[in-house]
């Protein structure tokens, strides 16, 4: 009889655990489309929390009003450059289509400076000469390859648009989190539940790490992209918003805007006076290396771990999981570093003199 009761209890326990796991899995499927925006929302909220708190305390404003204003400014700051980017791309596509239909789509002649380059000048001139004379036939011959490139480009534009929508959703989520007064207490309770009595310390470490990454990676990349976009626009580089966005992407993934800046400098030397091109090239060089001045002050500032740990976490996390991985990698590696440091020092005995 006891064996039968024990078996029944075991079966009941298995059924309950199975139902509970099924419920959790169902909940996960429901919220799965919103996981990435929610994570981004947490990152944005944590990064902006000090500024939000400062505005509330120093100006006596309502938390919800400040959250609304911050969200509105962030969304405008996102949508205005996005509009400029898509407007420029659309104009370029329509212009190319109109020239192709009118039969006026041609490859421009190479400047004399390139034609006169030693060793490679003659080869480049011959290639572009054939391209200039037989453009229509080449388009026909490589029609399938060109269509593949165009499909990939359209897919890239679609993904960009979707990511912008998701980022707007993440900003709205961040606004709700900032307006909620119990966010910090909830985070402390979660870390205490997972890690133990000192969990609040790791909650604070995670918050400081997020802010360090936002300032040292995202912040520096945005500043560089703005400086690059300003220089590209004022110097007369065609389609400057597109190249500024490319510079932002390269800066975020730690390559830097040097490739874009170098291309802009070459364009200016080929189309403008030497003095004009030289002055703007000097500006582009400063923009390219400005991150070397900003990162030591911003990356790792306020965090209790070495800057190298955060930097490795950013790069490794990005390679593993994309943009979200930059923050996850830095946080996980920082927490792992602190736990390892605590474990090493816990029972360490001082070295005898």
Specify the pLDDT at position 154: 78
Digit-coded pLDDT (tens) for 209-236 = 777 777 777 778 888 888 888 888 888 8
> What residues does each domain of the chain span?
35-181, 197-342
198-212, 241-255, 272-286, 334-348: range with highest mean pLDDT: 272-286
Pair 135, 107: CB distance under 8 Å = yes
CB-side neighbour CA atoms (13 Å) of 263:
13
Question: What is the helix, strand, coil percentage profile of the chain, to 5?
Answer: 85, 0, 15
Helices and strands (H and E) in the chain: how many: 16, 0
pLDDT tops 70 at residue 105: no
Q: What confidence category does residue 168 fall into, taking pLDDT thresholds of 50, 70 and 90?
A: confident
Q: Which tokens is 296 given?
A: 């030591």
What are the DSSP calls for 159-184, one per residue?
Answer: HHHHHHHHHHHHHHHHHHHHH-TTHH
Pair 246, 263: CB distance under 8 Å = no
On average, the pLDDT of the chain sits at 77
What residue has token string 């605590």?
Answer: 342
**CA 195 from centre of chain:** 30
Other Cβ atoms within 10 Å of 45 Cβ, number: 25
């Amino acid at each position: 009889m006891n064996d039968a009761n024990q078996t029944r209890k075991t079966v009941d326990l298995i059924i309950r655990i199975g139902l509970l796991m099924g419920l959790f899995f169902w909940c996960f499927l429901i919220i799965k489309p919103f996981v990435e925006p929610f994570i981004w929302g947490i990152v944005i909220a944590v990064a902006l929390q000090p500024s939000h708190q400062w505005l509330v305390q120093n100006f006596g404003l309502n938390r919800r009003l400040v959250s609304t204003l911050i969200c509105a400014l962030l969304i405008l700051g996102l949508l205005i450059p996005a509009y400029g980017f898509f407007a420029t791309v659309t104009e370029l596509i329509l212009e190319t289509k109109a020239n192709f239909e009118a039969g006026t789509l041609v490859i421009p002649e190479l400047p004399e400076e390139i034609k006169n380059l030693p060793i490679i000048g003659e080869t480049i001139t011959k290639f572009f000469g054939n391209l200039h004379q037989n453009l229509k036939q080449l388009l026909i011959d490589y029609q399938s390859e060109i269509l593949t490139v165009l499909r990939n480009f359209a897919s890239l534009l679609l993904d960009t648009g979707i990511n912008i929508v998701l980022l707007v959703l993440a900003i709205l989520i961040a606004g709700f989190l900032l307006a909620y007064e119990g966010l910090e207490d909830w985070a402390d309770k979660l870390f205490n539940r997972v890690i133990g009595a000192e969990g609040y310390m790791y909650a604070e470490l995670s918050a400081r790490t997020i802010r360090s990454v936002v300032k040292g990676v995202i912040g520096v990349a945005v500043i560089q992209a703005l400086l690059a976009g300003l220089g590209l626009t004022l110097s007369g580089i065609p389609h400057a918003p597109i190249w500024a966005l490319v510079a932002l992407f390269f800066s975020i993934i730690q390559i830097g805007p040097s490739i874009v800046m170098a291309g802009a400098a070459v364009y200016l030397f080929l189309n403008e006076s030497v003095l004009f091109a030289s002055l703007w090239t000097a500006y582009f060089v400063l923009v390219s290396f400005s991150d070397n001045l900003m990162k030591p002050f911003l990356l790792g500032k306020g965090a209790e771990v070495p800057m190298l740990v955060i930097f490795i976490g950013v790069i490794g996390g990005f390679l593993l999981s994309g943009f979200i991985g930059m923050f996850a990698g830095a946080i996980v590696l920082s927490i792992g570093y602190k736990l390892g440091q605590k474990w090493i020092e816990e029972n360490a005995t001082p070295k005898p003199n």
